[in-house]
Structure 1
Amino acid sequence: MGTLKYRLRAKVEIENVAEDFSCWQRYGGNLSEKSSAVEEPETASVGWGAGVDHSGESTSHGGMLGWHWHKDPRLDCLGFRGIFPSGTTPPLVEADKETDVENYLLWRGEKGVAEGSIEIPKGEAIPLECNLVGLNAISFDKGCYVGQELIACTHHRVVIRKRLLPLKFLNNNGKEVEEKVAPGSEMIDTVSGKKVGTVTMALGCRGMDVLRLDEAFKVGSLIIQGREDVKVDTIRPELWPSDWYQDHQQHSAVA
């Protein structure tokens, strides 16, 4: 989560409550495909049955601070997220289903969903190249915001030639390799010998980077600089609308 830095034209006191509260994410499977509503119907209950547990309903909606689960607005498969008091287990979290945060980060990376200033470099990243249109993060109907005109013109008039893509790291036999690539590693196209990108996120055998589409899908030609034994395979994210891929194919054909 970001840090609030400024107080503008308001007499407010900012208190750091990071130790008092924790962020949770419920994700996986078809968890959030049941409903397109803002909040999953069953978040009102602490169980998975059809009935409503009113005690659970009170707990899941919180008390004075109003904590409860919200549907992740980016992708259905990312499930639900919420902020809850530290040291407690939120409603609907089963003990045998709780997992390490790295598993969620890997899940998010496999879906091609970047977040934070490391994966989306501040002052460098272009929102359209980071697929934010497909993540419900950009509005073309409301204004005004900084960069609105440039983003709108690019969206409607320009073919996006670079996009954020999930990566898979492999050895020479095509097997996935873990912990062989670090964020900041450079990728090289062995055919042209040129640098094609810098890995912005790497975890286990997966990663993410913004790549030119006419280079990204060259099977078997991408490697990690300095680690010629590690090949890079790109994955087309499920979040991509079909026209993104069609635009790329048409542009490649014309080129």
Structure 2
Amino acid sequence: MLLKVKNINKFYDNKHVLKDVSFEIKKGEIYGLVGESGCGKSTTAKILIGLTDKDNGEVIFNNKTMCQKGARTSKQIQMVFQDPNSSLNPMKNIKWILEEPFKLHKIKDKKFISNKILEMLDMANLSSDVLKKHPYEMSGGQKQKIAIILALLSNPTLLIADEAVSSLDLSGQASILNFFKKLQQELKLSYLFISHDLRVVYHMCDRIGVMRHGEIVEEGTPEEIYSNPKHEYTKALLRALPSSPEFMKELNSI
């Protein structure tokens, strides 16, 4: 087991935001966390990455207890945010941005750095021409791919994608979801894939946890969640899904 989250609780201003949240992610697995905005999905992710402290509970990553209060988590856990602009310095070109992680880790081999960056760009179907560009000169999908590459340069084994496609148009969403799948297959990555859209997690994930008011109220495979939902909240989410043939066609192409 790569990740075990056991009975995590979090309070903000005496409000119980996370209530005994527990789930596991196996090596090579995509685990989906789905629910409405404000249900606690992003707070869970921030605890795992070390941006927020939990109040109690336990996180075990690679058989080691993580997320002690005030401590950073392993660099093997990286996060991709909803807005790629939050990860990309608008004043710098993409070459500078992608070289920065190597500087932080004191890697000075220029040939190694160049080859690694070009390898990742090729995997993302991006031309080396983007290295000269600034983030504002790129599309939303291209920027998100760069943000993903930036997260991958630390060689993580677990990637957290927090609503990573929700701000993109249909073709951009399909492109990023395809990229995530390709990375999983070629790099043997595991994911915590966070979304408010059950359609996306159905097509992307091996297992799904449904979160409501800070609790995971139901868990199962995509087929179990879609075909035989147990909790009334899950049923309500399914009933609320918009009908979009174009979007489903894009998803089915993944």
What TM-score do you get using the length of structure 2 for normalisation? 0.23
Greater fraction of residues in helix: 2
Greater fraction of residues in strand: 2
Bigger Cα Rg? 1
Higher relative contact order (CA closer than 8 Å, sequence separation 6+):
2
What TM-score do you get using the length of structure 1 for normalisation? 0.23
